[in-house]
Chains A and B, each alone.
Chain A
Amino acid sequence: MAEKPIQEEKRVFMTGNEVVAWAAVAAGADIMYGYPITPQNEIMHYWTRLAPKHGKKFLQTEDELSAGFTTLGGALAGRKSFSATAGPGTTLFQEPLSMAEMMRIPVVVIVQQRGGPSTATVIYSQQEVNMVTFGGNGEGWRVVYSTATHQELFDYTIKAFNTAWKYRFPTFILGDGYQAKMREPLVMYNPEDRGIEMIKPVASLGLPGTPGKDRDAVHLRNTYSVEEELYDATMPIQEDYEKMSKEVVEWDERNVDDADIIIISHGVVSRAAIAAMNRLREKGVKVGYFRPITLRPFPDEQLQKVAAKCSNFLLVESALGQLARLVKSALFNMPIDNFDTLYKPGVGVTAEELVQRIEKTIK
């Protein structure tokens, strides 16, 4: 029997990619399938170092299509399966993920966003929001956790496996190249030691007994013949998704009750947003903060409630309006005082520039 991956709760100092590998081990992941792409490589580097010590497996595939489809195979066989990718790799992942959506295959994929479009940079962006939320030929039946700190990378990677296996929708951890490479402290723990029950995976195929004799054979498909048949197949999935949404939606809001202006951001950019809010509050400027943690499902109602109090927004992201699209959809038909934006595609955002920007607007 493999030893417990984490003996006791412990404060450690690591890079984000390593955190993900350790979190996957702590979450009881069984197998990772992957293809090298920067900036997620150290997830594979550390998983391959850790896996044999804990009776876990790894397969390096020929490309991301294969990484995605083998991950589906692993989950169908009843093993907690995951992969990690970025940029053009995320593009290729859309095909297997659409199959996961249609067939309710619980896979976990970590995306460390890099610059786009195309090959662009290996470094950083928030330009993969469109892809992870609504990529693929479907309706965006995914859960997407956008993390901001190493502690969150650890916590939400563990949570992602539970969300995937509980609700059977493909689940993303959406990080970025900065989070991947940044070093900062966090506490690692075994989820069970904290009373977090890890959901046991169940096999869809290869069940005990002889099909046709002891039990019915399992016949799975994602193909339908006619419009009505497809409609009948998809509407229950949508119902499940909506029902799940209330349970999994997560957000963070601070200082919104008396705010004159609210910064909306997600992921690593929200660190700058918090810092800017704190500095401006010290100067007496009433700044609030709203951050969706799940980008899918999006905290529509929560944002609407905030907008009812203050709808002077500054939306900031390292992309050209990908978060803004989700936010505008949530705020549709709401009266909005002001919707200012700061778009920096593929470029980081600092607290200083947010402070300057808000000081200029407020005056």
Chain B
Amino acid sequence: MAEHLAMPKSWNTETKPHKFCPGCGHGLVLKVLGEVIDELEIQDRMVFGVDIGCSLLAWDFFNVDTVQTHHGRTNPVMVGIKRANPKLLPIAYMGDGGGYAIGSQHLVNSAFRNEKIMAIVVNNCNYGMTGGQMSPTTLPGQKTETSPYGRDAKETGNPTLGPEMVAAIASPGAYVARASVSNMKQLKRFMKKAVENQIAGNGFSFLEVISSCPTNWRTNAKQTWAFMEEEMAKYFKTGELRTPDESKEG
């Protein structure tokens, strides 16, 4: 029972152990989110929306009202809930495909309208659930099932810089940051500030989390860590890009 003591209260114990692959970053992101739910006592007000992709496995992860939507459509469902009942705190949870490819118009327009919801994009550089295809954030040269010779930036562009894009278009009051599961303390700080920003109703809250996918990367523990901290870090810089008071942690 020792590990249960470390479980956030808001976790749904009946669905643990969870179904993510060993070494997957989702468990860490959801651990941090669970702790933030507990600390800010929002379990009774939060609505969790999960996308298609590995994020879908979180559909019964928390003791929080949760709805699984369609691929890329979690943002608009959360927007619809918030607009209809502003007392609720909807959090959209998706991967880089749902956030930056099929759902990009919803992300962009949620940011433009400064919707008072929170969106979390877990970035692991590939479509993990469908078997490891190239995603918007696949690194140049990275091999995936649909970029078997490595991603050629001339053909398919460079990795999408989500937070930078959102920060460029967001309105005052927005919170935009990128964190990584390789730095849990920072992830926790940013996660908490993003949720607090939503509670305060300041504006759109957006957090990208650099995460790991050892299964599709075909990496051992050491290589996984190295890929996140060395390869991914080259493109995706962690830090706060927008805060409501414009003070930023780099």
Contact = CB atoms under 8 A, between A and B. Distances in A.
Given A62-B109, A79-B84, A70 B77 contact: yes
A218 interface: yes
A99 B106 contact: no
Nearest to B89: A206
B67 A76 contact: yes
A71 interface: yes
Nearest to A80: B84
Interface stretch (B41-49, B137-145, B163-171, B186-194): B41-49
Interface string A92-119: 0001100100010000000000000000
A356 interface: no
A68 B77 CA distance: 9
Given A62-B109, A77-B80, A206 B47 contact: yes
Contacts of B81: 73-74, 76-77, 205-206
Contact of B65 (A57, A61, A211): A211
Contacts of B105: 62-63, 65-66
B140 to A, nearest CB: 30
Nearest to B109: A62
A52 to B, nearest CB: 14
Contact of B80 (A71, A203, A211, A223): A71
B88 A205 contact: yes
A219 B106 contact: no
Contacts of B88: 77, 205-206
Residue among A76, A81, A211 facing the most chain B CB atoms (10 A cut-off): A76
Contact of A219 (B9, B10, B66, B78): B66
A30 B88 CA distance: 16
A46 interface: no
A220 B73 contact: no
B76 interface: yes
Nearest to A99: B70
Contacts of A61: 76, 79, 109
B63 interface: yes
Given A73-B79, A217-B63, A217-B65, A95 B10 contact: no
Contacts of A71: 80
A118 B123 CA distance: 36
Contacts of B70: 69, 95-96, 99, 222
Nearest to B9: A212
B227 interface: no
Contact of A95 (B64, B73, B79): B73
Interface string B73-100: 1001111111111011010000000000
A221 B59 contact: yes
Q: Which 5 A-B pairs have the closest CB atoms?
A: A73-B80, A212-B63, A70-B80, A62-B109, A69-B76
Given A69-B70, A206-B85, A209-B44, 9 more contacts: A66-B76, A69-B69, A70-B80, A70-B83, A77-B88, A81-B80, A206-B45, A211-B65, A219-B59
10 contacts: A61-B76, A70-B77, A70-B79, A72-B77, A74-B80, A81-B84, A96-B70, A211-B63, A217-B63, A223-B56
